Structure 1
Amino acid sequence: MKPRRAIPDLRPLDPLQSLKTKLGVLVAATATLAVLITWLGLQASLGPSRTFPLAIVLSLLLTQILARGMTSPLREMTAAVQAMADGDYTTRVHATSQDEVGQLATAFNMMAEDLESVEKTRRDLIANVSHELRTPVAALQAQLENMVDGVAEPTPAALEQALAQTERLTRLVTYLLDLSRIEAGASALSVGQIAVGDFLEDCAQSLSMVEAGKGLNYVVDVTPEDLMLEADAERLHQVITNLLQNAIRHSPQGGVIRLDGYPVDDLVVIEVSDQGPGIAPQDREQIFERFARGSHGPVATPGTGTSGGTGIGLAIVRWAVDLHGGHIEVADSAEGATMRVTLPARSHPAPGVTTMPAE
């Protein structure tokens, strides 16, 4: 048995841009139809007892047809809300009218798209975080079980691997805490003077000790050597560390990672470059979105055998740079990827960001 086709809604009043105008036209049309039918009935000598009921019935029928088309978006919105309550955010309202109901339908469709995007982001978060948590936990559990069962000796190398897994978990937890700060609108900076050269040297040295497995070489080049920057040291360390971790993850064995710093007018530019596969032009803006998946995003990268992480790190980097009133971008490079951070040399945070002197 074939399903019954729904009768399409007639919307002859859609060109009218006001609901009041539509209601006026509706009243005028039904009144005119009733008068016309009454007049025709009297001309045909049908008498009031036959003419009036016919006029009322036809007027009500015309009202039903026109009103159904006017209220159709409201019924569609009701059905869409019920679908959303069941977890389906793909339903949209057919908005063709120009009046207040049509504007409401358009706004509803925009809201539905936003909710669908939020739901997709939530699912991506759960999937990415679950994967990133499960991997180091499983590796750490296997290593400890082997040591407890006597299968493996607690050698320095084995303990170092276990420590690396716990550090990976710590980074993920830190990312999630920073993400919660973003959602809460945290926007305070503790600003102080930073010697860019020494700062970059410290960042490179701290990560080179943790990520020594690839045998990477770190080159720090700051011109002039006494280049200074007013910024929040903790937030800037977070920025450079995330960029370095990203560069380490995608660098080949024995590759070179460069950290360059130089002034441009009243700005300070810091670049972190690697010799990895690079970032596709179409992904260069997307990678700074939360949970984005680009060539430097949270997917396996050919030749490295590593995962790109959760996709949270670069979003946190942009958030921290934005707090300082700066800008981050992927610069053109002949080899690998170059992440360029541009910050004001003298503290100039974004509007609404509170600052306090560094302790």
Structure 2
Amino acid sequence: MSARRPAKQRYPAKQRYPANQKYPANQSLAGRLMVGQTIVLLASVLTAGLVASLVGPPIFHDHLVEAGHTARSPELTHIEAAYREASAIALGVALLLSLLCALVVSWLVSRRLRRSLHDLTETAREVSQGRYGRRAPVTGGGSELDSFAVAFNSMASRLQDVEATRRRLLSDLAHELRTPIATLSAYHEGLADGVIELDADARAVLVSQTARLSRLAEDIDDVSRAEEGRLRLELSRQPLEDLITAALDGARPAFAEKGVDLVRSPGGGAVVVCVDPSRIGQVLGNLLTNALRHTPAGGRVMLGASRSGENEVAIRVSDTGEGITEEQLSHVFERFFRGDSARDRDRSGSGIGLTISRAIVLAHGGTITASSDGPGHGASFEILLPRA
């Protein structure tokens, strides 16, 4: 017979307010600030009055005695009473005016703070509801609030970019899946109706479309594993020259078929790096394929390496192709981003290769950047890797 599990301890639920409900005035930051400043001001007034009533009369009495008045004369008593009344009236009026001025200033500061916080809260609420184009105003309520507003706007901009990427990803996925699925469905219907015979041509089409779906699934899995840091690297000391040569030899047939020159840039020397050769080969293959895709026949693609400082080596892939606009440069490594609006997979690819390449380079402790002088001026990708 199993032992009975102890009952879970229940804690009192915290009071929650809906997103569209205003908090009570005594729980808002501005309200608490106003109350706190009022308490401090009242305590200051009471302290000043108490100190003046206890310290002032004895000092005034001593000065009168030193001036020649007898200690118990009626004249001295009358003078001290007049002093106490005048001091109490003057001090009371001064403290009352100071209190009123301080309350007004505190109210103005609290009101400004409340307005700034209200604007930030409203903006955050709208962003949380999916309106990522909303920005918090920088009201000049203080360096801290202004810095917070700027940071919040930067976060909102990033969320807006992520949402745009997500929508583009879904659109590209739908396109990539639509064509092979439609082809497979048409062939299956034709086979079922007897319109199409299962000959060699039909088998080739079915195999190619199935392979296309499998390749897309593998690409998506590679992206997920790369971005989640689940790539397994088998590091070893590799001569950089061997990596460059292997990448060039593997890419030459495709370049020769399209009529694009593939050139080995001088430099690099006898440099050794500690990398996973298959993964770095995948990165170089992706960069060369990307350069070939965007370089017309008669163009040229250059692959080379050089020392970068004392502890790094730079690998560059440059082309004389279409180039990249300034707006596209900040998105070339995003998932499923493609530089043109064409939907042809053979023309512009799925946009996964550069994303995987960046993740692999980062896993090796390196960096990868893209640069271009604009459309028609080619593009260049540079990889920085630590030397062994």
TM-score (norm 1): 0.60
Q: Distance between the aligned counterparts of 1:60 and 1:136, measured in 2?
A: 68
* Conserved 8 A contact 1:200-1:259: no
Q: How many residues align?
A: 292
Q: Following superposition of structure 1 onto structure 2, how do residues 118-157 of structure 1 map, counting pairs within 5 Å?
A: 118-150=158-190, 153-156=201-204
More helix as a share of residues: 2
1:200 has 2:247 as partner: yes
- Amino acid in structure 2 at the alignment position of 1:123: E
Find the aligned partners of 2:336 and 2:302 in 1 and give their Cα distance. 25
Question: Aligned to 1:306, what secondary structure does the other structure show?
Answer: helix
Contact 1:290 1:315 in 2 (8 A): yes
Report 1:1-359 matches (<5 A): 23=37, 27=41, 62=104, 64-89=107-132, 90-98=134-142, 103=144, 105-150=145-190, 153-156=201-204, 159-160=207-208, 162-181=210-229, 190-194=235-239, 195-201=242-248, 203-204=250-251, 208=254, 215=258, 217=260, 219=262, 221=264, 229-230=272-273, 231-252=275-296, 254=297, 258-264=301-307, 268-280=313-325, 282-283=326-327, 285-288=329-332, 290=334, 297-300=338-341, 306-307=347-348, 309-310=350-351, 313-322=353-362, 323-325=364-366, 328-330=369-371, 336-344=378-386, 346-347=387-388
Greater Rg by CA: 2
- 8 A Cα contact 1:247 1:257, kept in partner: no
C-alpha separation in 2, matches of 1:114 and 1:162: 43
Residue 140 of structure 1, CA deviation:
1.0
Counterparts of 1:191 and 1:166 in 2: how far apart (Å)? 31
> Any idea what the Cα deviations from partners look like across 1:84-138, whole Å, max 9, x if unmatched?
343334241443233xxx51x2243134223312322331232222122212211
- Which residue matches 1:43? none
The answer to whether the 8 Å contact 1:133/1:169 transfers is no
Task: Report if the CA contact (8 A) 1:272-1:339 is conserved.
Answer: yes
Percent same amino acid among aligned pairs?
21
User: Deviations 1:72-94 (Å, cap 9, x if unpaired)?
Assistant: 32333333343334333424144
**Alpha-carbon distance change, 138 to 109 in structure 1, aligned in 2, over 3 angstroms:** same
Post-superposition CA distance 1:128-155 (Å, at most 9, x none): 2212221221111122123212366415
Counterpart-to-counterpart distance in 2, 1:171 and 1:326? 21
User: Cα–Cα, structure 1 residues 133 and 257, in superposed 2: closer, same or farther, change >3 Å?
Assistant: farther
Matching residue of 1:4: none
Quick one: distance in 1 between partners of 2:160 and 2:114?
31
What displacement does 1:188 show? 6.5
82 and 343 in structure 1: CA distance in 2 versus 1, 3 angstrom threshold: closer
RMSD: 5.0
TM-score with structure 2 setting the length: 0.56
Letter in structure 2 aligned against 1:336: G
Gaps of 5+ in 2: 1-32, 46-92
1:219 alignment partner, SS class? strand
1:285, 1:156 → 2: CA distance?
A: 39
Q: Give SS of 1:276's match.
A: coil
